[in-house]
Amino acid sequence: MAVVFFIVILFCDQAVKVYIRSSFLPGESLSVIPHVFHITYVLNPGAAFGIFANQRAFFIAAGVLLFCLAVYFYPRLRREGRWLRFSVASLLAGAAGNLIDRIASGLVVDFLDFRIWPVFNLADIAIVGGVIGMMLDQMETAGERLDKFLAARLTELSRSHLQKLIEAGAVLVDGKPRKANYKSRGGEEVTLTLPAPEATEIAAEPLPLAILYEDVDIIVINKARGMVVHPAAGVTHGTLVNALLAHCKDLSGINGAIRPGIVHRLDKDTSGVMVAAKNDRAHIDLAEQIRTKAARRVYWAIVHGNIREESGTIKGAIGRSAKDRKCMAIVPGGKPAVTHFRVLERFGDYTLVECRLETGRTHQIRVHLTSIGHPLVGDPKYGRRFSPFAIAGQALHSLTLDLTHPVTRQPMHFMAPLPEDMARILAALRARRSRG
């Protein structure tokens, strides 16, 4: 989005300048609001607002250097606060607009004349706006707790885990250890040193894996329904982690010994595409893509009932159910959750829907669809007790995953074909529909 923002600002700046050149003579002025605002065509030999005149070579060299630095550093801004990327894009678009003028003729086209200030242009506004935005970014981080800052911006690690790292001295602020409740002043350098992966007792098991893609940094698999992602209480064997340990020489250690390489997860009885990280660099980047929604996931679900709307959005804060602590529910004070859905096919008393997550809460799709009266077919926790279809778990499948490769920065698209059980249900529903 920041790149699009850059293009829009640059295009508007250049388009307006083309209009000014074609419609006015140098020095010509048009009153828009008498005594307040005029359009005055001025050829400026200096920098913004006319300062440092007749330094064409210097400004061209400085502009080129600035862009080279921006190309190098911009990818590193993706983990920063929301203001910074757009602020840098605005500043660079303004600088580019004036740089194009200087390269073409040595003079910058200015036209906004408020009489009490030197004449300027849209590029100058973008430059000033970018600087202000960068200041706001610093203000946004100032006063924020250190553990909250890290949890929100740097990794997918839980806040409690980060607090332990901070207590262990793994986090430095301007080279000094701080407590978790330390309030940032803004503009400080925060360094997180992740500990080496812990020795693990989890056994590597040569379990079958449906691998969609693999390289030295990531592995993408089609997780089978019924497979637990990582070991937990009472489950130490047969998990995806057990299988990955047998297949991969290395896995990221960021999530500790129990969840090596696991960037995100699917429920035991949800099938579909998942990505795991083979090193910490890939893990941090992928986790950030998932947190910021740069990585996009699409799910298909078969639900009970006929959803009346063609599409819609379900909003409801999700937390532990007061009735059953093993279940999630829409509760006051829960974590905000948003699910977008679109109807793909209707079968009378069943519906095939596509779901896109704006947030990633535990059991989110299952809870949200149940909340509108359309639980998933086969869902053992939230669904109906009896189902005419043979399926071991909920009819929910992670169909596609789009992400940017954490090292090569190439866009990647992965698709996991529907599992046999869901395909069989859809075939039966389509056959029944065709019979009328």
Mind giving me the DSSP string for 180-231?
Answer: TTPBP-SS--EEE-PPPPPP--PPP------EEEE-SSEEEEEEPTT--SS-
Number of H helices, E strands in the chain: 10, 17
Q: Label the pairing between strands 176-177 and 171-173.
A: antiparallel
**What are the residues whose beta carbons fall under 8 Å from the beta carbon of 43, sequence distance 6 or more?**
26, 105, 107, 108, 109, 110
Percent share of the chain, pLDDT over 90 = 42
Is residue 376 helix, strand or coil? strand
pLDDT at residue 224 in the model: 94
What DSSP state is assigned to residue 93? H
Question: In the structure, what pLDDT confidence band is assigned to residue 108 with cuts at 50, 70 and 90?
Answer: confident
Would the pLDDT of 387 be above 80?
A: no
Percentage of the chain lying above the pLDDT 70 cut: 84
Least confident of 44-48, 112-116, 119-123: 44-48
Which segment of 6-15, 72-81, 326-335 scores lowest on mean pLDDT? 72-81
Identity (one letter) of the amino acid at 26?
P
**Between 43 and 3, the higher pLDDT residue:** 43
Cα distance between residue 300 and residue 415, in whole Å: 12
Average pLDDT, the chain: 84
- Residue 418 is given by DSSP the state P
Residues 6+ apart with CB under 8 A from 188: 173, 174
pLDDT value of residue 80? 47
The pLDDT tens digits of the residues spanning 256-308 come to: 767 788 898 899 999 999 999 999 899 989 988 988 889 999 999 999 999 99
267 assigned to active site: yes
pLDDT (0 to 100) of residue 70: 62
Could you tell me how many residues make up the chain? 436
Going by C-beta distance under 8 Å and a sequence separation of 6 or more, which residues neighbour residue 22? none
pLDDT digit string (tens) for 141-159? 556 777 777 776 554 566 6
Q: How many CB atoms lie within 10 A of CB 2?
A: 18
What pLDDT sits at residue 54?
A: 56
Q: Cα separation of 355 and 392, whole Å?
A: 21
Which residue bears the tokens 């000033």? 128
Which of 227, 241, 240 lies closest to 392, judged by CA?
Answer: 227
* Catalytic one of 113, 124, 267, 269: 267
Mean pLDDT, range 320-336, rounded to an integer: 85
DSSP 234: T
Provide the pLDDT for residue 102.
Answer: 81
pLDDT for the residue numbered 79: 44
pLDDT at residue 42 greater than cutoff 80: yes
